[in-house]
Amino acid sequence: MHGAGFNIIYFDDDVVICDKASGLLTVPGIGPEKADCLISRVKCQFPDALIVHRLDMDTSGVLVLARNADAHREISRQFQDREIVKFYLAIVEGAPKQDDGEIDLPLGKQAQRSAIHIVDFELGKPSVTKWRVLERYPTERLGRATSLMELEPKTGRSHQLRVHLKAIGHPIVGDHFYAPNEIATLTPRLMLHSARLEFTHPTSKARVSFISPQPW
């Protein structure tokens, strides 16, 4: 099932699984010009759809919506208790020397009303990301060395993957918030994609997994 800016991967009486395009808000922003978003579009087909979690506007890929209060409560609990498994793909600047690793750096807002997040060892919340290099690309691909990484956030902080990768010296290509301008402008979109989401179905209790193919 297709809609502007998203695809419906799967639905039943409890959940809707969407594949969101880069550039579409998950929920409405502030102001009438930011009213258009994934949830408003999905509600045209599923009026009972409820937001459980979000993807940044510039991040593409798979996410789950609930269709009733019980499903919303149970899936939200799984997120809170870190029972949800999430894998992302990202193209980053440079070539990490190691093949895999873990980033354990606390994150917080730069300022109270700021959209920018930073590593904050005093007030930041614990944040952990596991990563693995899938491919190291030659300089010729984008004009400089880049790598394809698989990311598994063990916590769900805002902008976690983007700030963590910047912190280890490998910002995500196309990231206008956290990458230097020459890296932010290499591609027309943020090269971050929610590739797989795994959770326990709220009614059947079966472990289910949904995949969004790599979009680049």
99 is catalytic: no
Q: Which residue is listed with tokens 């409405």?
A: 28
User: What DSSP state is assigned to residue 71?
Assistant: H
User: How is residue 40 written in tokens?
Assistant: 């408003």
Exactly one of 56, 70, 81, 175 is catalytic; which is it? 56
User: What DSSP state is assigned to residue 34?
Assistant: G
Q: Is 42 helix (H, G, I), strand (E, B) or coil?
A: helix
Q: Is 152 helix (H, G, I), strand (E, B) or coil?
A: strand
CB crowding 146-155: b at 16 or more within 10 Å, else e:
bbbbbbbbbe
Q: Check if the beta carbon of residue 186 is closer than 8 Å to that of residue 142.
A: yes
Cβ contacts of 178-183, under 8 Å, gap ≥ 24: 179/93, 183/93
Angstrom distance (rounded) from CA 205 to CA 216: 34
C-alpha closest to that of 68 among 59, 60, 76? 76
User: How is residue 3 written in tokens?
Assistant: 């809609």
Q: Check if the beta carbon of residue 64 is closer than 8 Å to that of residue 49.
A: no
Query: Annotated active-site positions, please?
Result: 56
